[in-house]
Amino acid sequence: MNTLKRHEDPWKVYKEEIPSTVQHFSGRSVCLLESLQSSHLRSLMQSFFRQRSVRSKPNRRVRARDRVSANSLSFEDFLSSLKEATGQDYRRSDVEELFNEMDITCEGRVGWQTFNAFILQHYKHIKDSMRACKHVPISQPSIHHCTYNKQEPIVRVLALSQSPPMRYISVSKRGTLIVWNRHLNNIKPLELCAGPFNKRQYRKRFQGWTTDAVYMANVHKIAVATLSRSIHFFDVTTTCSFEQVHLFGLSHIPTALCYWYDTEAPGEKCVLMWGDDRGSVNLLWFLQPFKGLFEMPFTNQTGPVQVYMPDIHAHSALVSYQHIPNIHSEPINRILYEPHDELIITSSESPSSSVVIIDVNQKKEEYIWRIEKGVKCFDFSFSLGLLATAGAGPTVRLWNRYVTSRPTAVLHSHQTTVVDVLIHQALGKIFSYSKDAVLKLWDIPSQQCLKTIPLQFPNIHLGFTPEHGSFPLLLSLTADPVLLVTCREYLAALHLHKSESSSTSGIYTCALYNPHLQQVITACADSTLTLWDVKAGIKRMEIRNAHGKEEVSCMALDIHQRRLISAATNGTIKVWNLLNGLNLHKLETVSSAEVTGVICHHDNQLLATGWSRLISRYSIAFSDDIYVKADLSWKSGRQHREDILAMDYCPCLELLATGSYDGEIIIWSMALQKPITRLQTNQQETDHLPVHRLLFLQRRAQQSHLRSGAVLISSQAGFVRWWSVCGPRHNLGQFYAPDGSNERVMGLSTDQENSLLVTGDTAGFIKVWDISQYALNAVDMESGEDLPQLMHSWRGHERAIVSSEVLVYESQLFILSASLDRKACLWTTQGGCVGCFGQEQQWDLKNPDTYQTNRERTSPIKEEEKERTEDSQSRVSAGSFICWGESSEVTGTSFSAGNSQQTELALDLQRLHTALETPESECMSDRSSSLEKFPLPKYSKVLSGDHVEMKMSAPQRRPRGIGREKICRFGNEFMPFQLLELPDISELKDVPLKPWKLKIRQISSRGTEVSSGLLSSEDSLHFETLDD
For residue range 485-503, what is the model confidence (pLDDT) as tens digits?
999 889 999 988 754 444 4
What is residue 693's predicted lDDT score, i.e. its pLDDT?
A: 94
SS3 32: helix
For residue range 612-646, what is the model confidence (pLDDT) as tens digits?
999 999 988 766 788 999 988 887 778 898 999 99
Pairing of strands 429-434, 438-443: antiparallel
- Laid out side by side, the sheet with 418-424 consists of 418-424, 429-434, 438-443, 448-454
Under 8 Å CB-to-CB from 146, ≥6 apart: which residues? 154, 170, 172, 178, 186, 489, 490, 491
* pLDDT average, residue stretch 467-488: 88
* 655 neighbors 661 (Cβ within 8 angstroms): no
Would residue 673 be called left, alpha or beta, if left means φ above 0 and alpha means ψ between -120 and 50 degrees?
A: left
220-224, 805-809, 999-1003: segment of lowest average pLDDT: 999-1003
What is residue 332's predicted lDDT score, i.e. its pLDDT?
A: 96
* pLDDT average, residue stretch 905-909: 45
Pairing of strands 186-191, 210-216: unpaired
179 vs 104: which has the higher pLDDT: 179
CA 138 to chain centre: 19
Instruction: Tell me how far CA of residue 566 lies from CA of 397, 543, 600, 622, 682, in angstroms.
Output: 38, 12, 12, 19, 35
pLDDT of residue 437 exceeding 50, the answer is yes
Determine the Cα angle at 745 with ends 744 and 751, to 5°: 175
What is residue 831's predicted lDDT score, i.e. its pLDDT?
A: 93
pLDDT of residue 266 exceeding 60, the answer is yes
What is residue 8's predicted lDDT score, i.e. its pLDDT?
A: 63
What is residue 117's predicted lDDT score, i.e. its pLDDT?
A: 78
User: Percentage of residues in the chain with pLDDT exceeding 90?
Assistant: 40
| Helix, strand, coil percent content, the chain, rounded in steps of 5 | 20, 35, 45
* pLDDT average, residue stretch 366-388: 90
477-489: buried (b, 16+ CB within 10 Å) or exposed (e) per residue? eeeebbbbbbbbb
Sign of the Cα pseudo-torsion (992, 998, 1000, 1001, in order): positive
What is residue 981's predicted lDDT score, i.e. its pLDDT?
A: 38
* pLDDT average, residue stretch 14-24: 84
| Best CA proximity match to 699, nearest among 689, 711, 709 | 711
pLDDT of residue 760 exceeding 70, the answer is yes
Residue 712 banded pLDDT, cuts 50, 70, 90: very high
As a whole number, the mean pLDDT across the chain is 77
Dihedral Cα 68, 69, 73, 74, nearest 10 deg: 120
**CA 959 to CA 921: how far, in whole Å?**
8
Residue 223 banded pLDDT, cuts 50, 70, 90: very high
- Laid out side by side, the sheet with 573-577 consists of 552-557, 563-568, 573-577, 583-587, 627-628
306 vs 953: which has the higher pLDDT: 306
pLDDT of residue 917 exceeding 90, the answer is no
Pairing of strands 395-400, 789-795: unpaired
pLDDT of residue 948 exceeding 50, the answer is no
**CA 813 to CA 832: how far, in whole Å?**
12
* pLDDT average, residue stretch 272-286: 96
324 CB burial (10 A radius; 0-12, 13-18, 19+): middle
pLDDT of residue 941 exceeding 70, the answer is no
pLDDT of residue 568 exceeding 90, the answer is yes
For residue range 503-543, what is the model confidence (pLDDT) as tens digits?
446 799 999 999 998 999 999 999 999 999 999 888 888 89
Most confident of 364-373, 858-867, 967-976: 364-373
| Best CA proximity match to 794, nearest among 761, 818, 819, 757 | 761
What is residue 912's predicted lDDT score, i.e. its pLDDT?
A: 46
What is residue 603's predicted lDDT score, i.e. its pLDDT?
A: 78
| Best CA proximity match to 696, nearest among 666, 651, 745, 663 | 651
What is residue 869's predicted lDDT score, i.e. its pLDDT?
A: 46
| Best CA proximity match to 601, nearest among 637, 655, 640, 646 | 655
**CA 737 to CA 718: how far, in whole Å?**
6
* pLDDT average, residue stretch 387-416: 89
For residue range 203-213, what is the model confidence (pLDDT) as tens digits?
445 667 999 99
What is residue 130's predicted lDDT score, i.e. its pLDDT?
A: 62
For residue range 843-865, what is the model confidence (pLDDT) as tens digits?
989 888 889 887 654 444 544 45
SS3 909: helix
* pLDDT average, residue stretch 933-946: 35
309 vs 902: which has the higher pLDDT: 309
* pLDDT average, residue stretch 591-620: 91
pLDDT of residue 832 exceeding 90, the answer is yes
For the chain, report the end-to-end CA distance as a whole number of angstroms: 55
